[in-house]
Amino acid sequence: MGTIPLVCPSCRKRDDEGWSLFTVEAASDASWRCVGCEKRFPAVSGIPLLVPHPAALIESDLVGAFAPIGEPSALSSLAESGADGDAVARHLQHASTWLHAHYGDLVGHAECGYHAFASALGALPRFEAAVELGCGVGRGLSILSRHADRVLGVDLSLSALRHAKRVLAGEPLEFARRIVGRHYEPALIPGELACDNVDLVVGDVLDPPLVPGIFDCVVALNVFDNVRSPRDLIGVMDQLCTPGGRLVLATPFAWQSGIVDDHQRFGGADPARALRELLESGDGLGATYEIEDARELEWFLQPEARLRLTYTSLYLVARKRRES
């Protein structure tokens, strides 16, 4: 996968002397193999699933893992004839919401929910290697690809990454846009975002299959409040970031039971201040950080034509201080 190494999530260890890591390599179009323990990991649509239990992950979203990409009409008909809680209906609703949020401006709408983030990422300096944790359907990767020599996208959703792969290959992507209830209309993302320096991997953002300290840009947008331990996410970003590199993150701090552990909810009534203080102090991290940019950005989701959910996200760019 380019020149960004991927490592086995099953046999790596860390002790007082540091990390013990083994890389994984493509054994075939459908399989990757660890050069150390020789465990094999499946690949679907050319995307490796580098998690300890790939089958369990696939089982949780069989429709998203294997449904045809770019051919939404059959699934739309199934959804309309079924019930709201059916697997097909849930998949279509999720795909519609996120593809529209990221690419709505390219399918004939005046704006998309990702617009403010796109502008902010577009103002970043040049990087050698960037990784986006929780990259979703890939709009951020398309922007980072113009600022970095090598870019890697990590997400637990194979469905999202399959859509991202099509778009980032520069191919048109038709999807079913939810209008109301289980009624959908076709929408087309044009094939104008091609980039050849982006790779994708299914992985856990709290335990990514990556070598520490090789990225000079580590991005996580609206992921902080979608993991069980936000502080652990900051720790992972810190480990991945090279000295002098930057962390780029955004979050509305929209805590939800069942997603963020109650005792991990960050900063009480002022989580934005607590997050800044954590980065500046380096408490529990490997370095301290200088806040280069801190502002509030609007982010919205539009699950259907008459419904819009608007959030205000704290957007931070923090530079990792080099050791003196």
**275 pLDDT above the threshold of 50:** yes
Strands (E), the chain: 13-15, 18-20, 24-28, 31-34, 40-44, 47-48, 127-133, 148-155, 173-180, 183-189, 198-202, 215-221, 241-251, 289-304, 307-320
Tens-digit pLDDT profile for residues 16-48: 777 789 999 999 989 999 999 999 999 999 999
The pLDDT of residue 1 is 45
Query: 296 to each of 32, 210, 236, 314, how far by Cα in Å?
Result: 41, 30, 24, 5
Confidence grade of residue 2 (pLDDT, cut at 50, 70, 90):
low
Q: What does the angle CA 127 – CA 210 – CA 100 come to, to the nearest 5 degrees?
A: 65
Topology at the third CATH level for domain 13-320? Rossmann fold (3.40.50)
Confidence grade of residue 110 (pLDDT, cut at 50, 70, 90):
low
Tens-digit pLDDT profile for residues 178-225: 999 999 999 999 998 999 999 999 999 999 999 999 999 999 999 999
Gap between the Cα atoms of 251 and 205, Å rounded: 15
Residue where the block lists tokens 């194979």: 158
Percent of the chain with pLDDT over 90: 81
Tens-digit pLDDT profile for residues 112-135: 899 999 999 999 999 999 999 999
Gap between the Cα atoms of 123 and 116, Å rounded: 11
**324 pLDDT above the threshold of 70:** no
Alpha-carbon dihedral sign for residues 39, 45, 51, 52: negative
pTM of the model: 0.95
Percent of the chain with pLDDT over 70: 98
Gap between the Cα atoms of 233 and 225, Å rounded: 10
20 φ, ψ (degrees, to nearest 5) = -115, 110
Query: 141 to each of 196, 197, 243, 249, how far by Cα in Å?
Result: 11, 10, 22, 14
Query: 144 to each of 27, 39, 117, 158, how far by Cα in Å?
Result: 29, 32, 11, 20
Count of Cβ atoms closer than 10 Å to residue 74 Cβ: 12
Gap between the Cα atoms of 48 and 200, Å rounded: 8
Looking at every residue in the chain, the average pLDDT score rounds to 93
Structure-token pair, residue 146: 């113009």
Residues shown for the chain:
324
Gap between the Cα atoms of 309 and 301, Å rounded: 5
Amino acid symbol at 302: Q
Distance separating the N- and C-terminal Cα atoms of the chain: 34
Spans of all domains in the chain: 13-320
Tens-digit pLDDT profile for residues 291-301: 999 999 999 99
One-letter-per-residue 3-state SS of 145-169: CCCEEEEEEEECCHHHHHHHHHHHC
**156 pLDDT above the threshold of 60:** yes
- Report whether 197 contacts 145 (CB < 8 A): yes
Confidence grade of residue 68 (pLDDT, cut at 50, 70, 90):
confident
